[in-house]
């Protein structure tokens, strides 16, 4: 191990050190049934009152519209906590997608602004059938309907991106950024910004920041959300492209222009498959730590093609390079494998790191795991804290977890009650507590 990598892991471990927690005996789950949604693939988001929001990629019973997908065009839902301890959560479908000119198939997580408006994307639907970015505004009166506004309908021309697979992220000014998996000047995806209208009710403006696939070995086909640092740099992953092996993914940085209206600069921080036993095909966003390091997961690769956790530490000088390491190579089996979620970091005196795997665990339905950093000179540990059964608790999570109060919350793509038009279940929203 290089001295630089050792210093990075030791420093990171110093502020992350904590003991693993066991959530296995305390699980609550809400089961989707189809008409109220099916297959939630993104993270949940919480408002100031403790209500949780998320989206399902299918399901729903649209009123009007032109949704002709056999499993529905997807919904946005709200989960309201119980009024007394031990009570049941209440699920409300606050919006059902209709395809065109509305959106269809929301596959990413939602984000929420200070006013309680929700923002997200749909992979399909819209004016051209290649996706939308939308805003949902809460009702002005309790019990009223939420209002949807399409803030951008993606075009099927080379001037725009197509089929956004991930949600949006806000910068410090409240402007949302996102990615599309296809389209752009090279047909291999884009990174874009949506600017707030100058007047309430005005038109949002889209700017293409970068068109992927600009050169051999470039990142292509982004499917994960971007992450914004305090000075406006954007970081992301792609499951394809790069110079490692046959092009099995990248971590990239987009740097804003030094002059207004100038071009953004893309830098490939790492091409997967380029080091021994490296991970491949990252599916999730990276997590930005307080030290400026990036943590992420690769869904495959590693020692037995079970996936990895990777880390990138920023350069120590302006002309230096990012330092890459692989703290965890999943062993498969009971420890879980195929990690497809981002890593959740809860900062503090004893920060916590949690994420999910899509496969593995006691029932091969995936796990929620905790990452435990090492003592100086030691190794990282990956410890499952909950094993999904594929039953009423759900199974095969693709989204991560959020830490809200004394519990973890997330979603699963399968499992739940079997009263569903999908044989393996329509999935769940779950709560894990100690």
pLDDT at 304: 93
Report the C-alpha gap between 314 and 409 in whole angstroms: 31
CA distances from 199 to 134, 177, 196, 203, 232 (A): 18, 20, 8, 8, 24
Q: What is the pTM of this model?
A: 0.92
Largest CA distance in the chain: 63
pLDDT at 23: 62
Report the C-alpha gap between 134 and 115 in whole angstroms: 15
Q: Give the total residue count for the chain.
A: 434
pLDDT at 20: 58
Per-residue pLDDT reduced to its tens digit, 76-121: 999 999 888 778 889 999 999 999 889 999 999 999 999 999 999 9
Contact 190, 212 (CB under 8 A): yes
| Domain range for 187 | 3-433
> Regarding beta strands 111-112 and 279-280, do their DSSP bridges make them parallel or antiparallel, or are they unpaired?
unpaired
pLDDT at 7: 47
Contacts of 205 (CB under 8 A, 6+ apart): 194, 195, 197
Beta bridge partners of 324: 312
- The segments of the chain whose pLDDT lies below 50 read 1-18
pLDDT at 138: 95
Contacts of 238 (CB under 8 A, 6+ apart): 189, 212, 219, 220, 221, 222, 223, 224, 249, 250, 252, 282
pLDDT at 372: 87
Please state the domain count of the chain: 1
pLDDT at 198: 83
pLDDT at 183: 97
pLDDT at 418: 75
| Three-state SS sequence of the chain | CCHHHHHHHHHHHHHHCCCCCCCCCCEEEEECCECCEECCCCCCEECCCCCEEEEECECCCCCCCCCCCCCCCCEEEEEECCCCCCCCCEEEEEEECCCCCCEECCCCCCEECCCCCEEEEECEECCCCECEEEEEECCCCCCCCCEEEEEEECCCCCCCEECCCCCCEECCCCCEEEEECEECCCCECEEEEEECCCCCCCCCEEEEEEECCCCCCCEEEECCCCEECCCCCEEEEEEEECCCCCCECEEEEEECCCCCCCCCEEEEEEECCCCCCCEECCCCCCEECCCCCEEEEECEECCCCCCEEEEEECCCCCCCCCEEEEEEECCCHHHCECCCCCCEEECCCCCEEEEEECECCCCCCCEEEEEECCCCCCCCEEEEEEECCCCCCCECCCCCCEEECCEEEEEECECCCCCCCCCCCCCEEEEEEC
pLDDT at 25: 56
- CATH number at 128 reads 2.130.10.10
Contact 427, 411 (CB under 8 A): yes
């Amino acid at each position: 191990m290089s001295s630089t990598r050792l210093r990075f892991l030791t420093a990171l471990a110093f502020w992350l050190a904590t003991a693993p927690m066991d959530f296995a005996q305390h699980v609550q789950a809400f089961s989707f049934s189809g008409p109220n949604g099916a297959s939630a693939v993104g993270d949940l988001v919480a408002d100031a009152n403790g209500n949780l929001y998320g989206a399902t990629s299918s399901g729903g019973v649209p009123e009007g519209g032109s949704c002709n997908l056999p499993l529905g065009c997807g919904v946005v839902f709200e989960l309201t906590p119980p009024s007394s301890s031990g009570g049941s959560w209440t699920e409300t479908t606050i919006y059902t997608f209709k395809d065109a000119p509305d959106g269809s198939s929301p596959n990413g997580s939602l984000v929420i602004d200070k006013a309680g408006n929700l923002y997200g994307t749909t992979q399909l639907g819209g004016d051209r059938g290649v996706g939308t970015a939308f805003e949902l505004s809460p009702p002005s009166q309790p019990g009223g309907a939420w209002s949807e506004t399409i803030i951008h309908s993606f075009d099927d021309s080379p001037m725009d991106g197509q089929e956004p697979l991930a949600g949006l992220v806000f910068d410090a000014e409240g402007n949302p950024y996102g990615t599309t998996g296809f389209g752009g000047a090279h047909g291999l995806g884009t990174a874009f910004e949506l600017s707030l209208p100058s007047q309430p009710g005005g038109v949002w403006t889209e700017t293409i920041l970068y068109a992927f696939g600009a050169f051999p070995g470039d990142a292509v086909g982004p499917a994960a959300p971007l992450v914004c640092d305090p000075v406006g740099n954007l970081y992301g992953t792609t499951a394809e492209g790069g110079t490692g092996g046959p092009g099995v993914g990248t971590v990239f940085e987009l740097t804003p222009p030094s002059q207004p209206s100038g071009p953004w600069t893309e830098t490939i921080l790492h091409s997967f498959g380029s080091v021994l036993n490296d991970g491949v095909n990252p599916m999730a966003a990276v997590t930005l730590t307080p030290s400026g390091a990036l943590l992420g997961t690769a869904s495959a690769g590693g020692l037995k093609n079970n996936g990895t956790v990777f880390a990138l530490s920023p350069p120590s000088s302006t002309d230096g390079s990012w330092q890459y390491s692989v703290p965890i190579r999943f062993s498969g089996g009971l420890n879980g494998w195929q990690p497809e979620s981002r890593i959740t970091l809860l900062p503090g005196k004893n920060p916590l790191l949690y994420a999910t795997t899509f496969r593995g665990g006691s029932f091969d339905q995936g796990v929620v795991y905790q990452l435990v950093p090492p003592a100086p000179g030691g190794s990282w540990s990956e410890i499952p804290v909950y094993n999904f059964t594929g039953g009423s608790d759900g199974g095969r999570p693709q989204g991560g977890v959020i830490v809200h109060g004394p519990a973890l919350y997330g979603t699963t793509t399968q499992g739940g009650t079997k009263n569903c038009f999908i044989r393996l279940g329509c999935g769940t929203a779950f709560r894990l507590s100690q």
